[in-house]
């Protein structure tokens, strides 16, 4: 049994029996519970002072045979102490009775006597710093002032510049009107301009409608409250308690100096005060009436006259009926059109034409536009046109004459009457009277024979082989001749190691190419189409190789080394350029390109064969690969040919 469960019996009896008898007289059993002999009763012990509550089991006491007076001690047959069983003990926080009980409490140093708890503060005796206040919800110090001292801005504790609104816990400029200077009221914590019966205005001002005003200068309360200064066509102000004109509205003026009628004159329209007081608009010659418009004097002129210089002092000085520089309006200047003198007739511009010129369109605006001495449409007079067949006629000294012929015609007889009578598309008059011209390949019928580019290249015709080379190599194997049908050799393929083991020709057909980007046109012969190969000759040794001439070029010769066999191989390339003319004929000239090779080894002797020129002087190209072969390539040679150019 724990020590806390051991309770002295006398203490229990004192708390349960004798404590109840303290308020009774002798023999009075009211308030005293006496159990029957051997009867058990419960004794509850409140140990609030020590914060322990013990739930003890029932205690059985011996009851005496006779009543016992309260003035005598009662003997109880029981030990003075007894062991009690373990009981649940309430170990909640201690209840405080004063702030002293909270001096070391982590919950706060102030005792809330209503709850018996130690807290940070209580609102009824706020002990927070002046710049903080006790929050009644949390009983802790929160941000926000609790007194004016919390709103002081100086660190030396000087006079407070602000006041504390203890309801909102905010530092404000004021909390009552008395916190504000004269002429200001406290509104929402701030001093604002205003006054009231209890808050007078500063010296020299009067309280009007809750505002301090100077009755000597206020335009809303001038002289007395609510006397608003308002004058016609003016901005008014208060001067020494009386309304006066400050400035006039735009276009108005105070010409009589009386404040009562404000700015009484409209200086924009008043001819006696036009633009300013006393500025009367003048009159002048040919003036029918004076006007004032936007503050400027003007005049209404008699019919046919105008005030063109804008100066009403000289009246309506301009005659709009006959003056060429002011014809009909001030801004209309009759122009000096070409070959004419300007004039003004009945307010409209007119012209007087110079000699040799006329206004044939009847429009004076463009002057005398026609020179009748040279105009083909108006030769000598308006409407007299010069016109002959196939020609553009002109006028010279007022007489018609041919100036140019229509395209394709000529005035070969020199006569005006039949115009340009001769067509210029015949061989004897080709482009000009009596001229003959040679044909050129340019897309035109240059010689006027009715055929475009006659004699110009159109294609190629194969003439076959013209030349055969020697056989380079040995005499073994059987002979072969691989022909490129309808074309030329453009490259070779085969196999090579220390010598040429295998060789085959690669072929393409020929094509005439016309280049129309230049004039006369340029013609070349190029290889084109798919590559074909009659097959390879020789054995299967070495490694494969294959090479072609540059695009469009073809084989123009071979070279290499040979002995009893073909030891080394390479080939030359080129393409044909077609040169000549329809009159002189055409020929093929070879233009070399980059060579190809070399394959094989260095044995044998050097050989080279370039396709020779034909009897016409034209260069030939390889058309056939010939030679001897068996299990190896024994010898090679070529045949060369030349196509013929066909023409229109």
Contact 18, 11 (CB under 8 A): no
Two tokens at 301? 């002129």
User: Quick one: pLDDT at residue 14?
Assistant: 33
Which of 82, 114, 129 is the last residue before a domain boundary? 82
**Is residue 49 assigned to a domain?**
yes
Which CA distances in Å does 36 have to 40, 61, 66?
A: 8, 8, 11
Contact 440, 581 (CB under 8 A): yes
Q: How far is CA 147 from the centre of its chain?
A: 60
**Is residue 115 assigned to a domain?**
no
What is the b/e burial string over 186-216, where b = at least 16 CB atoms within 10 angstroms of the residue's CB? beebebeebbeeebebeeebbbbeebbbebe
| CA–CA dist 106, 103 (Å, integer) | 9
Q: Identify the bridge partners of residue 504 per DSSP, sorted by sequence position.
A: 493, 536
Percentage of the residues of the chain whose pLDDT score is greater than 90: 54
The whole domain housing 12 covers 3-82
Q: Report which DSSP code applies to 82.
A: E
Tokens 């299967």 — which residue?
A: 540
Q: What is the average pLDDT across 444-450? A: 91
Contact 461, 644 (CB under 8 A): yes
Q: What is the average pLDDT across 318-333? A: 94
Contact 605, 561 (CB under 8 A): yes
Which of 82, 116, 145 is the last residue before a domain boundary? 82
| CA–CA dist 284, 299 (Å, integer) | 9
Confidence of residue 153 (pLDDT cuts 50, 70, 90): low
Identify how many contiguous H helices and E strands the chain contains and give both numbers: 2, 48
Cα dihedral sign for 96, 101, 102, 104? negative
569 φ, ψ (degrees, to nearest 5):
-145, 140
Which CA distances in Å does 540 have to 158, 481, 631?
A: 119, 20, 8
Of 475, 457, 465, whose CA–CA distance to 638 is shortest?
465
Which of 82, 112, 135 is the last residue before a domain boundary? 82
**Is residue 438 assigned to a domain?**
no
pLDDT digits (tens, 9 = 90+) for 525-538: 988 889 999 999 99
User: Quick one: pLDDT at residue 623?
Assistant: 94
Cβ neighbour number for residue 584 with a 10 Å cutoff: 10
520 upstream amide cis, omega within 30 of 0? yes
Q: Give 443 or 463, the one with higher predicted confidence.
A: 443
pLDDT digits (tens, 9 = 90+) for 470-527: 999 999 999 999 999 878 999 999 999 999 999 999 999 989 999 999 999 999 998 8
Contact 548, 490 (CB under 8 A): yes
**Is residue 612 assigned to a domain?**
yes
User: Quick one: pLDDT at residue 260?
Assistant: 85
The number of CA neighbours under 13 Å toward the Cβ of 229 is: 26
Given a cut of 80, whether residue 635 has pLDDT beyond it is yes
Given a cut of 90, whether residue 72 has pLDDT beyond it is no
Given a cut of 80, whether residue 92 has pLDDT beyond it is no
| Strand, helix or coil for residue 394 | strand
Which helix (H) or strand (E) element contains residue 481? strand 478-483
278 CB-contact burial (10 Å; exposed 0-12 / middle 13-18 / buried 19+): exposed
| CA–CA dist 589, 618 (Å, integer) | 6
Two tokens at 67? 């009543």
Of 335, 332, 377, whose CA–CA distance to 358 is shortest?
377
> What is the count of structural domains for the chain?
2
Given a cut of 80, whether residue 436 has pLDDT beyond it is yes
**Is residue 281 assigned to a domain?**
no
**Is residue 417 assigned to a domain?**
no
Cα dihedral sign for 167, 168, 169, 175? negative
Contact 465, 643 (CB under 8 A): no
Q: What is the average pLDDT across 216-230? A: 90
CATH number, domain containing residue 556: 2.100.10.30
Contact 130, 141 (CB under 8 A): no
pLDDT digits (tens, 9 = 90+) for 547-578: 999 988 999 999 999 999 999 999 999 999 99
User: Quick one: pLDDT at residue 61?
Assistant: 39
Contact 342, 334 (CB under 8 A): yes
**Is residue 224 assigned to a domain?**
no
pLDDT digits (tens, 9 = 90+) for 573-620: 999 999 999 999 999 999 999 999 899 999 999 999 999 998 888 889
Tokens 């001819």 — which residue?
A: 271
Q: Report which DSSP code applies to 411.
A: -
**Is residue 200 assigned to a domain?**
no
Q: Are strands 81-82 and 422-423 parallel, antiparallel or unpaired?
A: unpaired
Which helix (H) or strand (E) element contains residue 10? helix 9-13
User: Quick one: pLDDT at residue 196?
Assistant: 85
**Computed over its alpha carbons, how large is the radius of gyration of the chain?**
69
Given a cut of 70, whether residue 313 has pLDDT beyond it is yes
Given its phi and psi angles, is residue 27 left (phi above 0), alpha (psi -120 to 50 degrees) or beta? left
Q: First and final CA of the chain: distance in angstroms?
A: 142
Contact 199, 186 (CB under 8 A): no
């Amino acid at each position: 049994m724990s020590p806390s469960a051991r309770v002295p019996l006398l203490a229990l009896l004192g708390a349960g029996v004798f404590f109840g008898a303290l308020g009774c007289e002798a023999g009075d059993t009211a308030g005293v519970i006496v159990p029957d002999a051997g009867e058990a009763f419960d004794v509850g012990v409140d140990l609030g002072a020590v914060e322990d509550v013990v739930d003890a089991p029932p205690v059985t006491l011996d009851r005496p045979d006779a009543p016992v007076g309260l003035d005598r001690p009662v003997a109880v047959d029981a030990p003075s102490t007894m062991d009690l069983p373990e009981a649940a003990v309430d170990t909640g926080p201690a209840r405080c009775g004063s702030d002293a009980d909270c001096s070391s409490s982590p919950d706060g140093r102030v005792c809330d006597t209503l709850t018996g708890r130690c807290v940070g503060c209580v609102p009824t005796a706020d002990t927070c710093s002046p710049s903080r206040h006790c929050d009644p919800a949390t009983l802790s110090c929160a941000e926000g002032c609790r007194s004016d001292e919390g709103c002081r801005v100086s660190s030396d504790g000087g006079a407070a510049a602000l006041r504390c609104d203890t309801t909102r816990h905010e530092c404000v400029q004021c909390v009552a009107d008395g916190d504000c200077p004269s002429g200001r009221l406290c509104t929402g914590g701030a001093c604002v301009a205003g006054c009231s019966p209890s808050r007078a205005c500063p010296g020299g001002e009067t309280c009007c409608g809750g505002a301090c005003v100077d009755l000597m200068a206020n335009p809303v309360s001038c002289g007395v409250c609510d006397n608003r200064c308002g004058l016609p066509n003016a901005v008014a102000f208060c001067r020494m308690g009386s309304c006066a004109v400050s400035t006039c509205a735009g276009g108005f003026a105070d010409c009589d100096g009386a404040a009562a009628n404000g700015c009484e004159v409209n200086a924009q329209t008043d001819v006696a005060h036009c633009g300013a007081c006393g500025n009367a608009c003048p009159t002048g010659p040919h003036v029918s009436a004076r006007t004032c418009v936007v503050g400027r004097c003007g005049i209404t002129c008699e019919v046919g006259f105008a005030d063109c210089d804008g100066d009403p002092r000289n009246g309506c000085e301009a005659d709009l009926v006959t003056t060429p520089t002011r014809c009909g309006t001030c801004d209309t200047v009759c122009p000096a059109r070409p070959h004419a003198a300007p004039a003004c007739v009945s307010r409209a511009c007119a012209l007087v034409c110079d000699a040799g010129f006329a206004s044939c369109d009847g429009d004076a605006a463009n002057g005398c536009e026609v020179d009748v001495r040279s105009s083909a449409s108006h030769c000598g007079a308006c409407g007299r046109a010069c016109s002959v067949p196939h020609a553009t006629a002109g006028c010279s000294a007022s007489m018609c004459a041919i100036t140019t012929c229509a395209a394709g015609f000529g005035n070969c007889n020199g006569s005006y009457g039949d115009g340009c009578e001769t067509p210029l598309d015949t061989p004897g008059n080709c482009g000009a009277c009596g001229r003959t011209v040679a044909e050129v390949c340019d897309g035109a019928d240059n010689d006027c024979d009715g055929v475009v580019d006659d004699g110009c290249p159109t294609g190629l015709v194969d003439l076959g082989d013209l030349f055969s080379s020697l056989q380079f190599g040995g005499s073994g194997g059987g002979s072969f001749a691989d022909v490129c049908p309808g074309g030329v050799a453009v490259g070779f393929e085969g196999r090579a190691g220390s010598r040429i083991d295998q060789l085959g020709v690669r072929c393409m057909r020929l094509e005439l190419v016309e280049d129309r980007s230049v004039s006369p046109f340029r013609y070349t012969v190029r290889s084109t189409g798919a590559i074909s190969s009659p097959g390879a000759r020789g054995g299967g040794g070495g490694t494969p190789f294959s090479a072609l001439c540059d695009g469009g070029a073809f084989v123009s010769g071979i070279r290499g080394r040979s002995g009893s066999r073909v030891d080394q191989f390479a080939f030359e390339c080129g393409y044909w350029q077609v040169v000549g003319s329809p009159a002189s004929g055409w020929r093929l000239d070879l233009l070399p390109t980059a060579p190809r090779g070399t394959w094989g080894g260095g044995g044998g002797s050097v050989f080279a064969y370039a396709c020779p020129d034909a009897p016409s002087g034209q260069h030939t190209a390889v058309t056939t690969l010939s030679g001897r072969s068996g299990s190896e390539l024994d010898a090679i040679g070529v045949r060369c040919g030349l196509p013929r150019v066909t023409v229109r």
